[in-house]
Chain A
């Protein structure tokens, strides 16, 4: 009989009862399979050791921390760590990387070029509302090629607005009137430039497809090995603390994402990317809506937690995000290649009022 797959050998280690009798009997008497099983076992043991983390956990302290977070959350304020993480992870997650890559592919209608060519420049941001399930199911770029983070995001605190401006090259706008409940002087943070190069790999895409049990659609010529470079930042933020843990207001500026390519037939490439196994159908359908626009950055919005609407800030189209529980709101817009965001434990009206009053 045919040798059982390595996947079957792997399961034999953990759940022998889950492997069919003929396979088990074959392996027991087959030197090739026994040798394969030993290799599988070595890798499994190495992985177990590599992933081993003996962590002592204080459940009472953990519960006390969560209780505080829940209390402030219910009271209309989220804890600082959680909130900043939500925003940061939303803006820097692999999902955004995928969407940004798709956006740059969809955007570029220019003919192929021989050198790095700016093919996408963020001039506005548009929300793409997706369900939690879609976001979880969304593959990241490593499923389709190699992502090299040339410059990773490094956040650091600086003493004042002048230092933030010096470090980021961006002047943070002044807030004219702080909303009710927001007081004191802000803390300043800066983040450096973030850069990544993505190299499409047909081999990786094929492996990803195989892993979900689907065939890889035939790739268009020239896509294999083609490269895309994405950059964003630097940026700066002023953060007003909201008492014990929660920042009440954040005003941030960051140089908007830009993408470059070594040159490829873009409409073909994006059409192809949107058919790859692993990308939920309705996500692909949403993203197709951006085809032909090289200046709109789709911002994935998790419909479980957020609602998105549009507004106008100083003549620029802006996206307003509001958490469904009503405790958090933010507004984001782009002008002259710079993204500005205002967010906080505030209502949508309050963040818009701050945004429109910035000097």
Chain B
């Protein structure tokens, strides 16, 4: 076994891109936020963000495309985590202030239990719908969502609308069956 070099600056292999720290510092909060939308948990979202940046660090994604790439990778990776069934209810309940969510325009306050249902519903959505939903609610434009998912900008609205409708139905279905 080779003895580990002591610093990143003297790697045995040139596998890490030079602009990693700069990109990381600028984009880390946003990448965590995207993953947290899917997972509802800050800790788990940070795990996802680390995974995404590790992959990015080894990649040759052009710097100009880094933000879009990171956002899409965060959505996909977080959805993979969600669907792989490794999540713990307790971690979800610890998420982002639990039910102290501002009701805003929605007339429904999202409770912890509803949060759990939101994650379950997200996991059941077709992947394209789930990704479109997360990207759109993470602030990507229709053109950016379209590019990420190989959709026409015109069909992004339809995809997002279907996802939101399905999500509402899932939440109502569970609420009425309680």
Neighbouring B residues of A77 by C-beta, 8 Å: 4
Contact of B63 with A by CB under 8 A: no
* A45 CA to B106 CA, complexed, in Å: 5
Neighbouring A residues of B153 by C-beta, 8 Å: 18
* A348 CA to B103 CA, complexed, in Å: 55
Neighbouring B residues of A52 by C-beta, 8 Å: 37, 96, 101-102, 110
Tell me whether A93 and B80 are in contact in the complex, defined as CB-CB below 8 angstroms, given that A142-B125, A213-B152 are known contacts: yes
* A181 CA to B104 CA, complexed, in Å: 57
The answer to whether A5 touches B158 (Cβ under 8 A) is yes
Contact of B67 with A by CB under 8 A: no
* A44 CA to B85 CA, complexed, in Å: 27
* Nearest chain A residue, comparing its CB with the CB of B118: A50
Contact of B54 with A by CB under 8 A: yes
Per the CB 8 Å criterion, the residue count for chain B at the interface is: 90
The answer to whether A43 touches B165 (Cβ under 8 A) is yes
* Nearest chain A residue, comparing its CB with the CB of B119: A50
Contact of A236 with B by CB under 8 A: no
Neighbouring A residues of B68 by C-beta, 8 Å: none
Among listed A84-92, A110-118, A166-174, A330-338, interface-contacting one: A84-92
- Cβ-defined partner of A94 (8 Å) among B13, B39, B127: B127
Among listed A54-62, A122-130, A215-223, interface-contacting one: A54-62
Neighbouring A residues of B81 by C-beta, 8 Å: 89
Tell me whether A9 and B161 are in contact in the complex, defined as CB-CB below 8 angstroms, given that A66-B53, A71-B4 are known contacts: yes
**A215, chain B: closest CB distance, angstroms:** 15
Contact of B18 with A by CB under 8 A: no
Contact of A139 with B by CB under 8 A: yes
Q: Can you list 6 A-B contacts with CB-CB less than 8 angstroms, sorted by A residue number?
A: A7-B155, A10-B161, A52-B101, A53-B40, A73-B54, A93-B84
